[in-house]
Structure 1
Amino acid sequence: MEAQEFLTRYKQGERDFTGVDLSKAILTGINLQDINLTGANLTGANLSWSFFNRAQLVNACLRQADLRHATFTNANLCQAILSGVNLTKADLHFANLQSSDLNWAVLEQADLTSANLQGAKLDQSNLEQAKLTQAQLIQAELMEVNLRKAQLINANLNRANLREANLELADLRDATLIGSNLTEANLNGVCLRGADLSEADLHRVIMTGADLSDACLNSADLSRANLAGSYLLKTSFRKAYLLRATLEDVLMLRADLSEANFRGSNLKRADLSGAYLRDTTLSETDLTEALFLESSLIRVNLDRSQMTGCCIYNWQLEDVDLSQIDCDYVFTQFNYATKSPTNRYPNGRNLKPGELAQQYREDSIHIKLNFKEPPNWEALIFSIAKLEQDFHNLKLTIKSFESVAGAYVLKINSNRPVNSKNLRSRLAEIYSNMIDRLQAKRQKILGLLNIIEAKVEHPIATTSPPPEPVDEEDLNLYREVVQQIEVIIMTQPPEKLVESIQRLINFLNVKGLSTEEIYNKIIGQAILRRAKQDQSFPKHLNQWEKSAAPAIRLSPIGSAIRSAIAILWQESPYS
């Protein structure tokens, strides 16, 4: 059919052009909305800047067609042939492209928001900077596709084939890629925050500088993948394979590495602070200068791993053998202000083979007990004595007691390796019974000790609850935020403090964690500490107090800062 006849019939109200042959027709800038072109032949046609809203193009052939800037909103292109088509900056909002053929197509900056591309073929297509937010790409063929800087927020790519695809700097926040194939794909600088890549194949993928915070990679295969410098905060790698992967300088704070296999991987300078490693394989890995601050390692295999220069401040070990590691020295403390490990061990020499394992067993075994309320110290002391009596040659020493996020943490040292979980459980049981027994025989015990108790109007409460599990993740989160607040106060100018600290306070409020201690103690102490180190800081604080808006000065954070300023004035020799 000639193009002119086609347009005349369309203008006269005809809409059904099923099977029409318009190959190589020039129909630019034409409004063809609601048209039915099912099975039509539009090969090589020029349809640029035309409108096909709600059009029916099922099984239509548009091979090599020019569709630049064309609009296909809500159009049905199911099973259409679009190979080699030019859809640069085309609008395909809500279009149905299910099982369509888009191999070698050009879709640069095209808008495919909420489009259905399930089962579509897009091998070697160019989708650079395309918008695919909430698009459906289930089982789509995307081999060697160019998705550089594309927006795939909340897109569904489950079981899609993205082998050797280019996703550099693409945005895949909250996207799902369950079971997808990303072998040898380029994901440099990609954003995968909150994305689900469970069971995905990421063999030899390049993912340097990527952001996978809060992402799920459970049972994913990242063997020989390169994730150097990536952000893996709170990322889940449960049962993932990372054999011989490159993970230099990655941030894996509070990541879940349960049952993950890192054998032969490079984890130099990796930050695993607060990470959870249970039944994790780290054999033959390079952990040189890695950070294990507040990390939990349970039944972790570290055989033949290189751990020289690691910082092991307050790490928790359970059933971990350190005798087979290769390590010259470690650091046992960490300076959060300078973000550097301190307290080299051993000082002035290197560790002997097996020395760290022996030293750790002798000096660093401790048990952590969590209370929701301050403990009944009398009952606790008797409980510890009873526990020592029950376990042969066991000697327990109270190491520290602190209040964290509205909970109370007691740390007890043991003179020999013990099963921390069993000991905590047994101590909780003894403590619960001891409170009742102590209450019943308190006066008799005091009499035997020649202690005369002063009479009070109300009896002393002796019903403090036994140790109850407090969410360890929340405690670690609270500590991490407090440390960040202290760093902010030690490094930022006064005019930025309120805004910076408020963001962290809001985060804790969302998590339901108490912030009273931060207002009453943490902020003031950090300000006073900085004032002692930086003589010009008090002057800047005074300038802030004079120039800050009343709403800022009178805010809870502003009030805490002003209280610290008042203390500084009292301590000043010129006050």
Structure 2
Amino acid sequence: MEIEELLISYANGERNFAAINLSEAQLSGVNLSSANLSKANLSVANLSRANLSKTDLSYAKLNVARLSGANLSEANLSHAILNVSNLILANLSNAELIEAALIRAELIRAEFSGANLTGANLSNANLREARLRQSNLSRANLSSADLRGSSLIAANLEAANLQGTDLSRADLSTANATNAEFRQANLSFCNLSGANLSGTNLRWVDLRGANLRWADLSDAKLSGANLAGADLSNANLHNASLVHADLREARLMHADWTDANLSGANLTGAKLHSVSRFGLKTEGIICEWLDLSPDGDRTQIRRLNPEEVRKFFHQTLPKIQIIIDAPLDHESHIILATAYYKIAQKYPPLSQPPTIKVGQRRTMLTFAMETDNQLFCAAFAAILPFADSEETQRNIVRFLQMLQVNNSTISLAKEQIRIQNVSDFLTERLSQTFQIKLMKPTLNIPKRLRFFQAPTQTVVCNSSDQTLPVYNHPNFGKHWVKSSSSFDPDDITTIKSAQYTLPESSIISDFVKNFPHSQS
């Protein structure tokens, strides 16, 4: 069919031109919207600026075709062959391109928003500054493609192949790239904030200066990746592999990298405010200094020698232990659970119930804390149900007073400033917690219950695995009975508070010296 005959037929309402042969045809600017051109041969045809919206081009051959500026919105190009075609500035929004072939195609600034490119082959294609927002690229082959400056906001790249792809300065915020292949790709200065990269292969990827805030990188493979200067604030790096990764001066504030493998990684200058250090693999880690300031502005620099590096990255979970010199009975258990529920309403850090270990003669309550700076305030609140609460709380106040006094004798100015900052912060937090004492009568603890009247020990353990005894009743471990000729061994008198010998002030300073003073 000649071109003139085709256009006349279309103008007369004919739409079915399936399998038509229009190779090398000059169709620039034509309107074939909603036509059926499935299995048509349009190789080397000139369709620049043509209106092909809603056109069926499934299984069509468009090799080396010129489609620059063409309107292909909502067109069906599934299984079409567009290798080496020119689609510069073409509009393919909401188009169907399932398993289409676009090898080495020119797609600069093309519009693919909402398009379905599932299983499409775009290897070596030029997609610079293309718009692929909310497009479906699952299982697509984008290996060695040029996607510099492109927009892939909320795109689906699940199981896609992007090996060796250049995505520098591209926007993949909130994109789904689970189990995708990015090995040796260039993602420098790329926006991946909020992206799902769980299980993704990012080995040897260039992520310098990338924005990975709030990204999910759990189980991701980042061995050998260059993350220098990258922003990983609040990112999920649980169980991620960062073996020999470059994390120099990376922002990791509030990130979760529990069980991550950092063997051989370089963390010199990394910003680690509010980052837990539990369960990390750190053999051969390199770290000359860290930025622990809350804003990453180097106001809290910590320099580390090799031995200090090992200790710093083998953090233990901060915890509070209250040991009661009596076994826990069923009635006391119910009252204890109710009391801690009420306390948690006023003091959320105790919202997680304690683990309880009950022996024949004693009971141990263990409260796991998220940060060191919660220890003293949480202990102040956790002891509230017990008769020893007043003396234990008084000791906590004494500890902070001793910290202020002892700090003036420290000769090193930097250490003195750091401990002063921590002391001021803890004192401020404790003053905010102090009102919790007023709720003790509302806990309704019966005085007749031996469990709550028994002597206690309270110990806090920081993330460096240092322990500090807060209170130890002088009669802990001793049997208490009434002084009468006939007595019930369970009829225990109320314990009177007794003076407890406080630890030396230097021990308290050493315990808190590594606390970040503004950690929440």
C-alpha distance in structure 2 between counterparts of 1:307 and 1:27, whole Å: 73
Give deviations 1:265-300, integer Å, cap 9, x for gaps: 111111111012221112211111113569xxxxxx
1:253 maps to which residue?
253
1:298-447 matched pairs, under 5 angstroms: 306=306, 317-318=315-316, 367-370=375-378, 379=387, 381=389, 384=392, 397=399, 400-403=426-429
Q: 2:79–2:97: 8 Å Cα contact kept in structure 1?
A: yes
| SS of the residue 1:403 aligns to | helix
1:120 maps to which residue?
120
Which residue type is aligned with residue 28 of structure 2?
A: T
Gap change, CA 1:101 and 1:418, over 3 Å in 2: closer
Which residue type is aligned with residue 158 of structure 1?
A: E
C-alpha distance in structure 2 between counterparts of 1:417 and 1:212, whole Å: 27
Gaps of 5+ in 2: 295-303, 319-371, 404-425, 437-457, 477-491, 500-515
1:49-64 matched pairs, under 5 angstroms: 49-64=49-64
C-alpha distance in structure 1 between counterparts of 2:255 and 2:27, whole Å: 56
| SS of the residue 1:318 aligns to | coil
Gap change, CA 1:372 and 1:397, over 3 Å in 2: closer
1:156-305 matched pairs, under 5 angstroms: 156-292=156-292
Q: 1:18–1:38: 8 Å Cα contact kept in structure 2?
A: yes
Gap change, CA 1:310 and 1:281, over 3 Å in 2: closer
| SS of the residue 2:273 aligns to | coil
2:16 maps to which residue?
16
Q: 1:195–1:212: 8 Å Cα contact kept in structure 2?
A: yes
Which residue type is aligned with residue 254 of structure 1?
A: H
Gap change, CA 1:401 and 1:132, over 3 Å in 2: same
1:421 CA displacement: 11
1:402 CA displacement: 3.5
2:109 maps to which residue?
109
Give deviations 1:105-148, integer Å, cap 9, x for gaps: 01000010010001000000000000001000000001101000
1:65 CA displacement: 0.2
Gap change, CA 1:404 and 1:384, over 3 Å in 2: closer
Which residue type is aligned with residue 20 of structure 1?
A: I
1:41 maps to which residue?
41
C-alpha distance in structure 2 between counterparts of 1:210 and 1:377, whole Å: 49
| SS of the residue 1:133 aligns to | coil
Deviates further, 166-175 or 400-409: 400-409
Q: 1:77–1:96: 8 Å Cα contact kept in structure 2?
A: yes
| SS of the residue 2:29 aligns to | coil
Gap change, CA 1:406 and 1:145, over 3 Å in 2: farther
1:417 CA displacement: 10
C-alpha distance in structure 1 between counterparts of 2:283 and 2:148, whole Å: 36
2:132 maps to which residue?
132
| SS of the residue 1:137 aligns to | coil
Task: Report how many residues are paired.
Answer: 378
1:260 CA displacement: 0.3
1:168 CA displacement: 0.3
Gap change, CA 1:305 and 1:245, over 3 Å in 2: farther
1:527 maps to which residue?
none
C-alpha distance in structure 2 between counterparts of 1:53 and 1:83, whole Å: 20
Gap change, CA 1:262 and 1:44, over 3 Å in 2: same
Q: 2:278–2:314: 8 Å Cα contact kept in structure 1?
A: no
| SS of the residue 2:6 aligns to | helix
Gap change, CA 1:319 and 1:110, over 3 Å in 2: closer
Q: 1:282–1:305: 8 Å Cα contact kept in structure 2?
A: no
1:480-491 matched pairs, under 5 angstroms: none
1:195 CA displacement: 0.4
Gap change, CA 1:99 and 1:366, over 3 Å in 2: closer
C-alpha distance in structure 1 between counterparts of 2:79 and 2:316, whole Å: 57
Which residue type is aligned with residue 107 of structure 1?
A: L
C-alpha distance in structure 1 between counterparts of 2:243 and 2:225, whole Å: 8
Gaps of 5+ in 1: 295-303, 321-363, 388-395, 431-439, 450-475, 482-575
| SS of the residue 1:7 aligns to | helix
Which residue type is aligned with residue 72 of structure 1?
A: L
C-alpha distance in structure 1 between counterparts of 2:55 and 2:63, whole Å: 17
Q: How high is the TM-score relative to the length of structure 2? A: 0.64
Identity of paired residues, percent? 31
1:316 CA displacement: 10
1:484 maps to which residue?
none
